A and B are shown apart, each in its own frame.
Chain A
Amino acid sequence: MTALLDPDRIAMVAKGVSAIVASRDATMRPSIMRAVGSHISADGSEVTVYLRHSQSGQLLQDIATTGEIAVVFSEPSTHRTLQLKARQARQRPAHGDDLPVLQAYLQSMVHEVGQVGYGPVYVAAMLVAPLEDVVAVTFTPVTAFDQTPGPRAGAELAAPPKPRP
């Protein structure tokens, strides 16, 4: 499967930027929460977002029932923003192997959010996530949108051409 994302966008997500996750229930009511961590595979074809169960009950249930997921990634200092969507996602409890990912994410966010004026204590409070409360949600993005603020926000990104065999 061809990845939707170019290396620049993959790099932005990979370094750890703000990630907000949404879904919806059977009655089309949306649900939303901020992720406490994220990870993207090197080719951009697999994305994992981490959510706290205690904060995201409805959202996790909606993702499980409808499969729908939308995640917006944004770099606070530049407002560069990207949205990924998928129609199926799998969930599993986080475990010890996820800890380095969560810690790296927190460090990156302390730096990113620090640039817009919030200190490490605040960022840590915003993203605190005891491992036993964390759920990893993994999906393969099927659509991607540039959402950097401005009149062009919302433009769908086309998949880059397949490399020649």
Chain B
Amino acid sequence: MSNAPSLHTIRPCLEGAIPAVMATCDLDGTPNVAYISQVVYVDAAHVALSFQFFNKTRQNILRNPRASVLVLDPLTAHFYRLHLLYERTEDSGPVFESMRAQLAGIASHAGMAEVFELKGADIYAVERIEPVAGEGLPAPAPRSGLLHTLRLCSERIARCTGLDELLQGALQGLQDKLGIDHAMVLMLDASAEQLYTVASCGYATSGVGSEIRLGQGVIGMAARERTPVRISHMTHAALYSHAIRESMDAHAAPNAPSLRGMDIPYPGLREPHSQVAVPLMSAGRLLGVLFAESPEDMRFGFEDEDLLVAIAGQLAAAIDLLQAAPDAPEPLPTPTPAPPVSGSALRVRHFAANDSVFINDDYLIKGVAGAIFWKLLRDHLQTGRVDFTNREMRLDPALRLPDVADNLEARLLLLQRRLQENSPHIHIEKTGRGRFRLCVQRPVVLEDA
């Protein structure tokens, strides 16, 4: 038995490239054989099979929990038999949600989205994995250098001293070292139960500030269930990426005409064929999601997922650390006089209901970042101040920053980016750890709506 392959070594067989088949047996002795959409690696001793229909397999397994599953290696054409024992069915949680998202991808590929709906993830103990005799094909050389790639990405992350640099560096690392051309980082706004894009690469527009609700699409699912979600086949008909856009439209606040148009377009690919979303977790808390996609089918294998999860771990820890870096407690250095302003006035409107801010009728930002911007402008106009600290933002009750995990750095970065992309006459620059400066080049008129 010591030569028996482990579930880990046969993971390529569980990628879903070739459908697995399963034999069960009724108590009257009648065997049954059926195709199964998914055999998913749960841990070293368990797999999950998709439960989609109340069929013979299902009836059998509830009466007689033994099953035999035949899987095929998509590269070597070697067969393996998995001898399984049914344990339980899960209809929520990470395994279920990740299978449901994957199934939607598979189903849309097969043109059967409507009939494929996951009822449950059937969890089986793997009693034995039996290699089946056969000539097969030579195994391709293992993908070399993955660990080295991880090291290079890791070193890059470890060198970063600011959040902006960190996020850009991580995405650049994915691009340079892993050839991942389309990726983004989204941060969690826990109180709004949403994720907002803070950095992206490879898209025509950055999409910084665009929002995705928890549970919405691949990204929202990965966040809500705190599990990676990977889809290898996907077409324009897929429920997932496009559901994001549709849902964004459907959930735009209908009762507030003044807030219309504030949704920033999500930057995703029009027709993604592969997607992977990995939660950013630090100290047990969800910080956001690292997301990558590709116009090619099967672009991300389980090793890519493993690598992204490892990078996400370090990225999340670094985000956490940089956000928690001590704010400047000492008095500010000699205040810098505000630079002269000139030109026509900018009209900045603030809607208290959701702290949304418009500049000359163009939506800029909302939420905590909007409240921060409004405070900065008011202070600036009242006192001429241009230098601010993170600390005072954190202490200002008007900003309603949650105590824990306020993501202040991320919100400032979001504001900085939105200004950069949408308002050339106002910008924010970092002036040191926990310090920043508001630079206003045109006169500003504030209007509290």
Interface residues of A (CB under 8 A from B): 20-24, 28-34, 52, 54-55, 66, 68-72, 74, 79, 81, 83, 85, 118, 121-122, 125-126, 128, 145, 147, 149-151, 153-154
Contact = CB atoms under 8 A, between A and B. Distances in A.
A7 to B, nearest CB: 24
Given A54-B133, A150-B112, A24 B25 contact: yes
Contacts of A32: 21-23, 33, 68-70, 81
Contacts of A128: 134-135
A52 B55 CA distance: 30
Interface of B: 18, 21-25, 27, 29-35, 37, 53, 55-56, 64, 66-70, 72, 76-77, 79, 81, 83, 110, 112, 115-116, 132-137
Nearest to A57: B133
Given A20-B70, A33-B70, A72-B35, 17 more contacts: A28-B64, A28-B66, A32-B22, A32-B23, A32-B33, A33-B81, A33-B132, A52-B133, A55-B134, A68-B29, A68-B31, A72-B34, A83-B32, A125-B135, A128-B134, A150-B53, A150-B112
Given A32-B69, A55-B132, A125-B136, A149 B25 contact: no
Given A72-B35, A154-B55, A22 B112 contact: no
A70 B33 contact: yes
A122 B137 contact: yes
A68 B112 CA distance: 33
B23 A150 contact: no
Given A20-B70, A122-B137, A149 B30 contact: no
Contacts, number: 113
Given A34-B79, A54-B133, A126 B53 contact: no
B23 A30 contact: yes
A79 B81 CA distance: 22
A34 B68 CA distance: 12
B79 A149 contact: no
Nearest to B77: A125
B29 A24 contact: yes
B128 to A, nearest CB: 11
Given A125-B77, A126-B77, A150-B112, A30 B31 contact: yes
5 contacts: A28-B27, A30-B66, A32-B68, A34-B70, A128-B134
The 4 closest A-B pairs by CB, nearest first: A22-B23, A30-B23, A125-B77, A32-B23
